[in-house]
Copies of this chain bind each other. A is one copy, B any other.
């Protein structure tokens, strides 16, 4: 039996192109139908049309939900909704889980409450909890009432944990065994399953009350003599487990650090209540870094690239507004020195250099510090040492680049005094950038805030206004 079909990593691109082609052919047919109103043609065209749609539907049925999600993301709104209608209803739920928030919204908007209810009912409690914020409340209520006791409790639990905690990421699929049985018994027990939960690399060994006693990896189960007892084979040392209130970021880092595939989640009394898998950790890591990149650029969230212009404006306006405030402040600083600029117009041309390089250098510092804080390597006590180093870097850069720019100013405008002011302003603004780049994230972290958020905007605002003030101030004192 040869391999019937093989996937390669760039297949999803191929799938996308196929779907696009089928859509395009389908549109050609539609256009024909619209243009040629002659009745004798209609029947033929209609047949061709139906054939194309059927082909597309078959293609979609073969695809992995994640691939369909990818294709939906990549299609413009009208094509997206056309394809979405062709997807089998029982797959709606898992696909909704895979698409980004923005695209999910666009899909849910077009669905009737019954469709949404049907889609929701195909999902596990932890998946439902993920989808819940995007579903209309009346649909959620119906779904909730249709659940049975245990699942209802699980959904309630999953929804009660705030975003960013282990509880919000965990699932409830797991296989537990007792320690006083042989591996043979475990093997026979597993053969009664139709399937194991995704990412089952270990079984959780629990006592009668569900307390975690140890873990039995599938590896140990497979390589050991089946006559052995679970208690003799299970691992009890360095068992990594989480609690629902633990920080999801720490948990994801633990998955990465210890190369975990799954880990138990226990309550305060060490009772196993759920499970975290590497798939959750990977998704979390990806989302976190996306979020960091987006907010660095002043975007609130991932944007559906085919979102309406208006949705895009809403996603972007907040940071633009902040940026405008800092720009206006910087402008007023310059305004205060208009007299100086009038007398020496070269100042106007040179001042953006001082501000710009200060901003760039401050961003380098703050990025470094934020990363170090994020992976937990900088304690508050390290503040002084870091400050010293960053100030050293700023001094060297200030002397080098500032010296060069001072020489340039001297050469351009024939005044060594202007050059000296330029060099001094560069050094001072780089020192300001370095101190703020260390202090802002350290202070925010000490206050328990996210050290990254908006740091770039703050530091750029500071080095702009500060740079203008320092340069124009020095010029006013020493040149005029």
State the A residues within 8 Å of B (CB): 1-10, 12-13, 16, 64, 66-67, 70, 73-74, 76, 166, 179, 187, 190-191, 193-196, 198-201, 212-214, 218-219, 221-225, 231, 236-243, 246-247, 250-251, 253-259, 261, 270, 278-279, 281-283, 285-286, 289-290, 292-294, 296-299, 302-303, 305-307, 309-310, 312-313, 316-317, 319-320, 323-324, 326-328, 330-332, 334-335, 338, 341-342, 345-353, 355-357, 360-361, 363-364, 366-369, 371-372, 375-378, 382, 385-386, 389, 392-393, 396-397, 401, 404-405, 408, 412, 456, 464, 468
A251-B9, A352-B352, A389-B309 known; A283-B256 Cβ under 8 A = yes
Taken together as a complex, chains A and B put the C-alpha atoms of A330 and B351 apart, in Å, by 11
In the assembled complex, the CB of A262 is this many whole angstroms from the nearest CB of chain B, namely 10
Closest 7 CB pairs of A and B: A289-B289, A297-B367, A9-B250, A309-B392, A348-B348, A334-B349, A74-B377
Given contacts A323-B360, A357-B323, contact A257 B290 (CB under 8 A): no
**Which residue from chain B places its CB closest to the CB of A334 in the assembled complex?**
B349
Q: Among B3, B198, B290, B309, which residue has its beta carbon within 8 angstroms of that of A212?
A: B3
A259 to B64, CA, bound (A): 11
Besides A1-B231, A196-B223, A356-B464, 12 more A-B contacts (Cβ < 8 Å) are: A3-B236, A7-B238, A70-B375, A191-B222, A199-B261, A289-B293, A297-B367, A305-B372, A320-B360, A331-B353, A345-B348, A348-B348
CB pair B356–A239 under 8 Å, yes or no, is: no
Of chain B, the residue at the smallest CB distance from A20 is B379
Contact present for A349 and B331 (CB under 8 Å): yes
A377 touches B194 (CB 8 A): no
- The SS class assigned to the A binding surface is helix
Closest to A281 in B: B282
**A256 to B25 CA separation, bound complex (whole angstroms):** 32
Contact between B236 and A309 (Cβ–Cβ < 8 Å)?
A: no
Are A397 and B320 touching (Cβ within 8 A)?
yes
Residues of B within 8 Å of A408, CB to CB, are: 328
Q: In the docked arrangement, what's the CA distance between A247 and B9, Å?
A: 8
In the complex the two chains form, is B257's CB within 8 Å of A282's CB?
Answer: no
Which one of B237, B285, B393, B397 lies within 8 Å of A5 (CB-CB)? B237
Q: Residue among A4, A9, A240 with the most chain B CB within 10 A?
A: A9
Q: Are B282 and A256 in contact (CB under 8 A)?
A: yes
Q: Which residues of B contact A341 (CB under 8 A)?
A: 341, 345, 348
Residue among B198, B223, B231, B238 making CB contact with A191, cutoff 8 Å: B223
- B contact residues around A241 at 8 Å (CB): 6-8
Task: Kindly report which residue of chain B lies nearest to residue A186, judged by CB atoms.
Answer: B222
Report the minimum CB–CB distance from A160 to chain B (whole Å): 20
A199 to chain B, nearest CB (A): 7
Considering the complex, give the chain B residue whose CB is closest to the CB of A221: B222
A1-B213, A231-B1, A257-B70 are contacts. A282–B278 as well, Cβ < 8 Å? yes
Within the complex, the shortest CB–CB distance from A230 to chain B, in Å, comes to 11
**A3 and B363 in contact, given A190-B223, A257-B64 (Cβ under 8 angstroms):** no
Structural contact, A371 and B290, CB atoms closer than 8 A: yes
Cβ contacts under 8 Å, A331 to chain B: 349-350, 352-353
* A213 close to B352 (CB less than 8 A): no
Which among B320, B353, B386 is the interface contact of A401 at CB below 8 angstroms? Answer: B320
Contacts of A396 in B (CB 8 A): 309-310, 313
Task: Let me know if B1 and A238 touch, CB within 8 A.
Answer: no
Instruction: State A294–B278 Cα separation when bound (angstroms).
Output: 25
Q: Which residue of B lies closest to A408 (CB)?
A: B328
Name the B residues within 8 Å of A313 (CB-CB).
Answer: 393, 396-397
Chain B residues near A73 (CB-CB < 8 A): 375, 377
CA distance A320 to B429 in the complex (A): 14
Q: List 21 A-B contacts (CB under 8 A).
A: A8-B241, A9-B246, A9-B250, A16-B376, A74-B376, A190-B222, A191-B224, A196-B223, A200-B219, A259-B279, A282-B282, A289-B289, A293-B296, A293-B367, A305-B378, A307-B389, A309-B389, A323-B360, A331-B349, A335-B346, A352-B468
Set B12, B222, B261, B382: member contacting A187, Cβ < 8 A: B222
Q: Which residues of B contact A237 (CB under 8 A)?
A: 4-5
Q: Do the beta carbons of B368 and A349 come within 8 Å of each other?
A: no
